[in-house]
Structure 1
Amino acid sequence: MADMVSAVLFDFSGTLFRLEEQDSWFAGMAVDEREVDGHVQAELMRRLTAPTGRSVTMTDEQYRAWANRDLAPHLHREAYLHVLRESGLADHHAESLYDRVIDPASWSAYPDTARVLKSLRAQGVRTAVVSNIAFDVRPAFAAIGAGDHVNEYVLSFEVGAVKPDPAIFTAALRRLGVPAQDSLMVGDSEEADGGARAVGCQFALVDPLPTAGRPDGLVTALGRAGIGT
């Protein structure tokens, strides 16, 4: 089966890159008039990166924005600013932190990301980044010298579908020109990324650990699927 994999689809957040906060982002911020400490930082970051569920109270209208946040930048902004305000941040601090989230420079690549993408390109294996996201991640790949190693970027806000909707996976496969049975999806969410199985792709799960704690997660996942890097 290994030599049948001619394309690999990758999730972005928690798979190829991870949003890892710096203390400087929170300088001068308070939650409910208490200074933001490590525990509060961690909880705010969880609320900003949790792929499913709702972490704060929402009206029906606010939940609609949350549910559709990865389809349009304005809904993404509205949804996350609500989460941050409901978490106790003042408006200007919520906007400052949100702007960090959508800045590709804020995202850290996993140690083996560039290596894996370069190796697959050299082997003639086509690749696509398939992400539920509302901002352009291409600059993050350019920053690590991997911009030319990805064949296609299939981003929810550009294609109008979010994982696990089969439409986003079929869009990626169509662009790559590769049948589903010859493709592997790699991601950190069984629920979202594992949806690729429904269209016939193989699936490999990775753990969205901090980047320093997962030096070769992609290499290992591809190796299990019979793809050497």
Structure 2
Amino acid sequence: MSLRAVFFDYSGTLFRLEQDASWLAGLTDGSGDPLTLEAQTELLRRLTAPTGRVVEFEPEFQEAWDQRDLDPEMHRKSNIEVLRVSGVSTAEQAEALYARLVDPLSWTPYPDTAEVLRGLRDAGVRIGVISNIAFDIRPAFEKLGVFDLVDEYLMSYVEGVIKPDPKLFLRACERLGVEPAEALMIGDSEEADGGAAAIGCAVSIVEPLPTAQRPDALLAAVAEHGVLPASPAGA
């Protein structure tokens, strides 16, 4: 059965929260010393990890972490605690960094994001974005000029369900009018995005590398599954 739809994850797949000296350089640890580059990198990894426990939580914060992608308040509570446990020294710094996390305009698109979305639309392939997220990601697509290329945005905090629950993937198929076997899910998490395989979707996993280090993984994924021909860059 030929593929008629492609679903994409957001964080680590189409966009990435990148280090930016303008809002990370001022961070200090409990001793008042600037956070090292390695510490800054680890902070962002913890804030954007798709699954798993990134720090040791007290029970109330563990519950908030488990519910973070279903409830914006739980998302804020748990991530502020991640920052505190990770050594961000003041509440003001934690709040400022958290504000960047939930600002979709702070996220950087991968180099081939726009190209792959335009290519799929031109080929008549339906497009969905399925994200475990607690804030509206659509402004990031508007800024990139590709908002209207996506047929459906399924955000967990709106849908009330998170990947890898099969209900979310089935809902995406229903809204795009395709059978699961006609859809490809592209994401960065075997656990979360790989759940699409349970309902019969094809799955392709990409590495959530810095955007400068991953120029054409999305194009390569759709080419590998025969949805689009391989481009010279991705061949």
Shorter chain as denominator, the TM-score bin is over 0.9
Aligned-pair distance for 1:141? 0.5
Say yes or no: does 1:17 pair with 2:7. no
Which AA in structure 2 matches 1:17? F
Structure 1 stretch displaced more, 161-170 or 47-56: 47-56
TM-score (norm 2): 0.94
1:96 deviates by 0.3
Q: Does 1:79 align with 2:78?
A: yes
Query: How many Å apart are 1:51 and its aligned residue?
Result: 1.7
- Hey, what does 1:107 align to over in structure 2? 107
For residues 37-81 of structure 1, give each alpha carbon's deviation from its aligned partner in whole angstroms, at most 9, with x where no partner exists. Answer: 211111111111112222222122210100110001111000100
**1:45-194 counterparts in 2 under 5 A?**
45-89=44-88, 90-194=90-194
Measured on the aligned residues, the alpha-carbon RMSD in Å equals 1.0
**In structure 2, the residue corresponding to 1:51 is in which secondary structure?**
coil
C-alpha deviation, 1:195, in angstroms: 0.2
C-alpha distance in 1 between matches for 2:126 and 2:101:
28
The number of aligned residues is 227
Matched to 2:172, the amino acid is A
Give the TM-score normalised by the residue count of structure 1: 0.96
Unaligned runs of 5+ in 1: none
1:171: Cα distance to partner?
A: 1.2
CA distance in 2, matches of 1:14, 1:100: 16
2:156 and 2:180 map into 1 onto residues whose CA distance is 19
Q: Which moved more, 1:212-221 or 1:33-42?
A: 33-42
- Provide the identity percentage: 53
CA distance in 2, matches of 1:88, 1:184: 40
Matched-pair contact (CA < 8 Å) for 2:51–2:191: no
1:27-46 correspondence to structure 2 within 5 Å: 27-33=25-31, 34-46=33-45
SS at match of 2:69: helix
Distance in 2, matches of 1:56 and 1:216, equals 32
**Deviation of residue 149 (structure 1)?**
0.4
SS at match of 2:87: coil
Moved more, 115-124 or 45-54: 45-54
- How far 1:124 moved relative to its partner? 1.1
Q: Which runs of 5+ in 2 are unaligned?
A: 230-235
Q: Deviations over 1:1-26 (max 9, x none)?
A: 5xx10000000011111110201112
1:217 CA drift (Å)? 0.5
- Residue by residue over 1:171-214, the C-alpha shift from the partner in whole angstroms, topping out at 9 and shown as x without a partner, is 11111111101111011111110000011101111111111111
The 8 Å contact of residues 51 and 192 in structure 2, kept in 1 or not, is answered as no
The residue aligned with 1:228 is 228
Counterpart of 1:77 in structure 2: which amino acid?
Answer: R
Q: Which residue number in structure 1 is paired with residue 233 of structure 2?
A: none
In structure 2, how many angstroms separate the alpha carbons of the residues matched to 1:99 and 1:32?
21
> Could you report, residue by residue, the CA deviation over 1:122-153 in whole angstroms, capped at 9, with x for unpaired residues?
11110100000000110100111101100000
Q: Distance in 1 between matches of 2:91 and 2:98?
A: 10
